[in-house]
Amino acid sequence: MPDITHTAVLGAGVIGASWAALFLAAGRSVTVFDPAPAAEARTRAYVDTAWPTLTELGLTGRGTPGALRFAGSAEEAVAEAGFIQENLPERLPLKHDLFARIEAALPPAAILSSSTSGLTLEALQQGWRNPAPLILGHPFNPPHLIPLVELTANAATGPGILERAEAFYADIGKVTIRIRKGMPGHIANRLQAAVWREAVHMAVEGVASVGDIDKAMWAGPGLRWAAMGPTMLFNLGAGDGGLQAFCDHFRDTFNSWWDDLGQIHLTDEVIETLVAGIRQEAGGQSPSELAARRDAMIVALQRALGDMRRSA
Ligand X SMILES: NC(=O)c1ccc[n+]([C@@H]2O[C@H](COP(=O)([O-])OP(=O)(O)OC[C@H]3O[C@@H](n4cnc5c(N)ncnc54)[C@H](O)[C@@H]3O)[C@@H](O)[C@H]2O)c1
Which CB atom, from 36 or from 297, has the smaller least distance to ligand X? 36
- Residue 291 is a binding residue for ligand X (CB under 6 A): no
Question: What are 51's strand-pairing partners?
Answer: none
Q: State the minimum distance, in angstroms, from the CB of residue 89 to ligand X.
A: 5
Q: Of 76-95, which residues contact ligand X (CB under 6 A)?
A: 87-90, 94
State the minimum distance, in angstroms, from the CB of residue 138 to ligand X.
6
The torsion angles phi and psi of 43, rounded to 5 degrees, stand at: -70, -45
By CB under 6 A, residue 117 contacts ligand X: yes
Of 14, 271, 276, 300, the one binding ligand X by CB under 6 A: 14
Stretch that binds ligand X, among 13-21, 120-128, 192-200, 269-277 (CB under 6 A): 13-21
Write out 266-300 in H/E/C secondary structure: CCHHHHHHHHHHHHHHHCCCCHHHHHHHHHHHHHH
Q: Distance between CA 181 and CA 116 in Å, rounded?
A: 16
Query: Which residue intervals of the chain are DSSP H helices?
Result: 14-25, 39-56, 74-78, 92-102, 121-125, 161-171, 188-205, 210-218, 221-225, 230-235, 242-260, 268-282, 287-311
Contact 59, 145 (CB under 8 A): no
**Residue with the closest Cβ to ligand X?**
13
Segment 193 to 252, residues that bind ligand X, using CB under 6 A: none
Task: Mention every residue, 6+ apart, whose C-beta is less than 8 A from residue 83.
Answer: 4, 7, 8, 23, 28, 110, 111, 113, 165, 168
To ligand X, the closest distance from the beta carbon of 298 in angstroms equals 15
Q: In angstroms, rounded to a whole number, what is the distance separating the alpha carbons of residues 134 and 153?
A: 8
- Which residue from 10, 110, 199, 210 is in contact with ligand X, where contact means CB under 6 A? 10
Binding test (CB under 6 A) with ligand X, winner from 4, 8, 9, 11:
11
Closest to ligand X by CB, 102 or 202: 102
Number of residues engaging ligand X in binding (CB under 6 A): 25
Cβ 51 vs Cβ 60: under 8 Å: yes
| Residue among 67 and 146 whose Cβ is closer to ligand X | 146
Q: Is 36 in the site for ligand X (CB under 6 A)?
A: yes
Site for ligand X in 59-78 (CB under 6 A): 74
Nearer of residues 48 and 212 to ligand X, judged by Cβ = 48
| Cα gap 277→205, rounded to integer Å | 13
Nearer to ligand X, 55 or 141 (CB): 141
Task: Tell me which residues touch ligand X (CB under 6 A).
Answer: 10-16, 33-36, 39, 74, 87-90, 94, 98, 115-117, 138-139, 141
